[in-house]
Amino acid sequence: MRGFRGGMMGGGGFRMGRKFASGDLQLVILALLVEQPRHGYELIKLLEERSGGFYVPSPGVIYPALTYLEETGLADVESEGTKKLYRITESGRRLVEENQSMIDMTLGKLEKIGAKMAHVRK
C-alpha cells in the first residue's frame, strides 16, 4: 500500500485487542464511505453490526482515523451543526480500488464473525 500509514494485517487476520491495524481500519472506513457519506457514529454502529458486536471501535479510534483521511485528502468533511459528514474523495476511491481484495477479505471476515456471534447467541 503506497504511502499509507499503519500497514497491513499480517495474513489478513484480526489482531487481538485493537482488532485492526490503523491502515486497515482506514481502508475499511473508506470502503464504507464509497457506499454513502457517513457520520463517525454511523461508522461505529455499522462496524458493530457487521461483526455481530465482536468489533465496536471507540470514538477514540474512529475519529482520529477520519481526521487522518481528511488531512491526507482521502475524505472530505462537511459540518452539519455539531455533526460532521464524511465523504470519500477521488483519491480515496482510487485507494479503495487498489486495495479492494484486502478490503473485501476484511469485511468478509467481519461478517463471518458476526454470523458466528449470532449463532452462538441463539
DSSP 39-102: EHHHHHHHHHHHTTTS----HHHHHHHHHHHHHTTSEEEEEETTEEEEEE-HHHHHHHHHTHHH
pLDDT at 21: 74
Of the two residues 115 and 121, the one the predictor is more confident about is 115
User: In the chain, what percentage of residues exceed pLDDT 90?
Assistant: 57
CB count, 10 Å around CB of 100?
13
pLDDT at 80: 85
Predicted confidence (pLDDT) at residue 58 exceeds the cutoff of 50: yes
Predicted confidence (pLDDT) at residue 4 exceeds the cutoff of 80: no
Whose cell is 499509507? That residue is 4
β-pairing, 75-80 vs 38-39, is unpaired
Predicted confidence (pLDDT) at residue 59 exceeds the cutoff of 60: yes
63-67 contacts at long range (C-beta below 8 A, 24 or more positions apart): 65/22, 65/25, 65/26, 65/29, 66/29, 66/40
Average pLDDT, the chain: 83
Of 26, 2, 21, the C-alpha closest to 10 is 21
